[in-house]
Structures are given as structure tokens and as C-alpha cells.
Chains A and B, each alone.
Chain A
């Protein structure tokens, strides 16, 4: 962020330079189109990566920007997934409204829990988010009549998008749909992080003690971003339910919360792209390693995680960024 070393003539130009699109960003998004041409057999995986990336992006908004560590973010992903799934099971399979419903339900629960979240930090916060995640997981497990419990939610039927594009076996529609939603989510996140509100969030992350001393209502800020993040996670969950036409209890699992945190740390938190890159690395690694050794593939993820946090404290992207600036010359 503060890497732009070009001479700036004034505050306005400085702010403009901070938020303008960089060439690498455009290149990155063009690369997301490569799977259509290079790996047409992997579009299903690509759509899963896009969905997970959207979920990781929602976690980045609270963790990377506001410094709120959560180990229970899957609660909102799962809520969105079940909301969209149950809606379609009961006869409304229109995908766009399904996404909205998933997002709104997750946002409502996110807003309600944000009143607790905003009061705590550090270990207490991790435990509270973990607890909320477990609560919801078990609630969904026991509400068999609604969720199908451990058997999963069956009978999800999604209509064609705009009545035109049906979901196909090869994942063309699924990937296109997921990628577009991811991109829209990214645009939203990018706007938020470049806004005055985004600056306030970084203030909370950088020094929560100073914030009230400059007149900042930190709790209100946290409630707001937590709600937005929950909504985004809910949309990601709804996407998964729609593109796979089923909802497994796993969407609410601790494993999913933890995996997403790992992806974000691998890729680099607080950089928007970190979650996307991290999800791609994680999911591709899982796909490849589990092909070689289905039982022990987490061994490699564990090793990768340890190496990355030791060598690259700001994740893969943080490392690349550093490399890029050293190569470009001293800042």
C-alpha cells in the first residue's frame, strides 16, 4: 500500500495513487480466465476455488483490515449455504435471489453477534468466534428436519441463471457464475478498503487504544465490518450450495473456518488478493496431494504453512511484494 514511491505532488494525488488500479491487478484478473482455455477439465475445481476465495476475502475484511481474529467464520458461510439450499428445496430455485437471501440471513446473524464480537479482542475473541461456530454446527446437526443433519441437505434444485444458463456437468456455468460473484465481492471489498471507513479499520488494527482518543467509535466500526463480512461469507456459502446442489454439514465445520484462516495466512492477510491466492494454492495442493496420498495430505499443508509463516511473515503475496520492490530498487 505504502509502496508507491513515485513523487507525489499533494494529498489528492497521493490518495488517487493509493487507490488506482495497478497493471498487476488487471493481469491477475485476466489470469482467472485461463482455466477456460488451459484446464477445461478442472472448471469444477476452479469454481470451488472462486467460492473459497470469496469466503477468504470476507475473512480478510475482518482479520486483515480490522484485526479481528475469527476461528468460527464458517458459521456465516454455512448459514448462507443452508439458507440458499433450503429456499430452493422449498420451491424457489432462482439463483440470484438465493444468493441475496443467503447473504441477508448471514448478515442478520452477523449483526446480532457483532455486539459481542466488538467488545473483545485477542484470545477471548478467538474463543468466542470458535464457540459460536460450534454452536451453529451442532444446531444444524440436530435440526435434521430442516437441514438433513449429517446426511446433508438433499433435493436442492437450482434454476437457470436469468432463465438462460443452466448448471452443466463440466462446471462452465458454475465457474463463470462464481467468478463473477467473486469479482463483484472483490470490487466491494476494494472499495471498502479504499474508503474512509477502510482507513478507520486499519486504524483499529494498528492501534485499538488510540482510536477512542481520536474520537473514533471503534465498536460501531467493528459491528459494521463484521456484518458486511458475514454477508459476504453468506453469499459464498450460497454459491457453494447452488453450484453443488447440495449442502453438507461440513459447511459449518471448524475445519472450514480453520482452513480458510490457513489460506488467508498462506496468501497474505490485509492485501485483498492474499485470500484469493491462498485459496488457489491450498485447493490445488489438496487436489494434487490427495491424489498422491489421500490420507495424509494435510502433512504437506502443515509443512507449507510452517515454512511460509517462518520465511514469509506476510504470506506468499507479501513475499512477492518484497521481492518486487527490492528488484525494482530501494524504496
Chain B
């Protein structure tokens, strides 16, 4: 595809709308994620954050609006085709392969990336390079001690890391992390985020997170959603000072359903 022109955003949306019947879950969402940046997406429950990720990754189709990845219009592409182009997500609720081992799971993602996963006439040992790369990813996330364990036997925090390992195996250009630390104890969550912070700067990251300490520490910019729309978008300092954000988070006419 195109040469890495830094002025082209890694990911952007243009007035994306979506509703289920009379329930509007996204209205006029326009946002821009520049290359290599770490943006946070925050907002109260039901604000439409996960819906927005579903729309960007193609798990839902928008009623209106367009989605661009590195300048290419991907609005009509299927989810797996978007992943092939480098737009990858993780899930708020573990969405893993319970009876595959951690190594098998990540190897599968690598086989899919390399186009080896359609090969049925050659044994997996011929693809040990894929497995070794998978092992490398697991090691970088400190998961190598459990590489040969079935996923369902992994501790919860390790499963959260495996979520990220699966996404990394696809070599993403843009990574959408849906509450990567959801359910992880407070002390472990900043550990998990330092792993995320250390990821290559070639990857642009948009993450959903409720812990404001984490958000202000790791995000270069924060997007606040309320009731399916973007309320405000700014640097951590701007967001911290914004009275509308305070209102949303500290009550005073708490608009849970917009």
C-alpha cells in the first residue's frame, strides 16, 4: 500500500451513524487517529464505545458515514479483510479459543496472516517458523511459561494478555483495545498498560478504559463519548479542565442514555 506518509491518519471516521430501530447508538461520529499515537476513548456505560469499535472493525455496518484506514475507504470491507489490512481489535470480554493452547491460538493467527491457514496437505511441524514467532510474541508478553497450556486453564490476567497476543500476531497498524484491563485487579492493570505502552510506535492505538489514572498516564489524547456521540476530544489537560466532562462523570444531571 501507500508509503508511510505521516500526514495520513492511521484511522479515521466521517460522520458515522448507526441505530437499532429507534435506539441511536452512534450519531455523526468523526474522529481521527494519527499514526503511532495512543488515544483513549472514555465515557459512561452505554455511551456507545464498544459499538464504535464494532463499526470500525466491520462487525456492525454503519447506516451512514465512511471509515478510512490509512487513507483507504474500508467502509464496505468484511471484518477479516480489515484485519488483513492492519485494523485489529481485542475484546472487553475474553473472546479466545478455550481448548486451544496459548501457542496454538497465536500460531493460528500467524498462519492466517501469512496465508498458510488454508493448507491442509502439510503438517503443522512444517510451519514451525510460525509457531516460533508465536512463541516469541508470548514471551514478549511474559506468557511463555503457559504457552503449552489450554487457554481455559490460564489465569484471568494471562487470558487478558493472550487477547493482546492474538491481536499482535496479526501485525496490526491500528490496534483497538476494548478495556484491555477489564476485570484485572487494580495493581495489575497498570502493569498491563505498561506492556501496551511499550508496543511498537508503528502501531496506532485507541483504547477504551474506565480507570482515569491509567487514561491520563498513557493517552496522548482523549475522546469522550456520551449517548452515542462524541462530546469532546482533547489533550488530557484539556479534558481534565473541561466542565462538560466533569458533569458527565460527577453526576449533576447524569445523562446515562443521552
Contact = CB atoms under 8 A, between A and B. Distances in A.
A2 B101 contact: yes
Interface of B: 57-59, 78-80, 83-84, 88-89, 91, 95-101, 103-105, 107-109, 111-113, 116-125, 127-128, 130-132, 134-135, 147-150, 166-167, 169-170
Given A14-B131, A198-B120, A199-B117, 19 more contacts: A11-B131, A11-B132, A15-B131, A16-B125, A191-B121, A197-B117, A199-B124, A210-B96, A211-B80, A213-B88, A213-B91, A214-B83, A214-B170, A215-B80, A215-B113, A216-B80, A216-B112, A216-B117, A221-B117
Contact of A11 (B57, B91, B135, B150): B135
A196 to B, nearest CB: 4
Interface of A: 2, 8, 10-12, 14-16, 18-19, 191-192, 194-200, 202-203, 206-207, 209-218, 220-221, 224, 228
A18 B111 CA distance: 17
A202 B89 CA distance: 21
A212 B78 contact: yes
8 shortest interchain CB distances as A-B pairs: A215-B83, A11-B131, A206-B97, A197-B120, A212-B79, A12-B128, A214-B109, A200-B117
Nearest to A270: B99
A2 B150 contact: yes
B131 A12 contact: yes
Nearest to B134: A11
A228 B121 CA distance: 12
A195 B126 CA distance: 9
Contacts of B148: 2, 8, 14
B95 A203 contact: no
A206 B98 contact: yes
Contacts of A203: 97, 100, 105, 108
A123 to B, nearest CB: 22
A212 B117 contact: no
Contact of B169 (A192, A200, A214, A224): A214
Contacts of B127: 15, 196
A202 B97 contact: yes
A237 B169 CA distance: 42
Contacts of B150: 2
A20 to B, nearest CB: 9
Contacts of B130: 196
A213 B124 CA distance: 22
B97 A210 contact: yes
A77 B217 CA distance: 62
Contacts of A194: 123-124
Contact of B80 (A8, A195, A207, A218): A218
A195 B121 contact: yes
B99 A2 contact: yes
A75 to B, nearest CB: 23
A197 B128 contact: no
A221 B117 CA distance: 9
Contacts of A206: 96-100
24 contacts: A2-B99, A11-B131, A12-B125, A15-B123, A15-B125, A15-B128, A194-B124, A195-B121, A196-B127, A197-B117, A197-B118, A199-B111, A203-B100, A203-B108, A214-B109, A214-B167, A214-B169, A215-B84, A215-B88, A215-B109, A216-B108, A216-B112, A221-B117, A224-B120
A292 B116 CA distance: 53
Contacts of A210: 91, 95-97, 166
A192 B99 CA distance: 18
Contacts of A224: 118, 120
A48 to B, nearest CB: 29
A214 B91 CA distance: 12
A91 B14 CA distance: 67
A11 B103 contact: yes
A210 B128 CA distance: 23
B112 to A, nearest CB: 5
Contacts of B119: 195-197
A221 B103 CA distance: 21
A10 B169 CA distance: 18
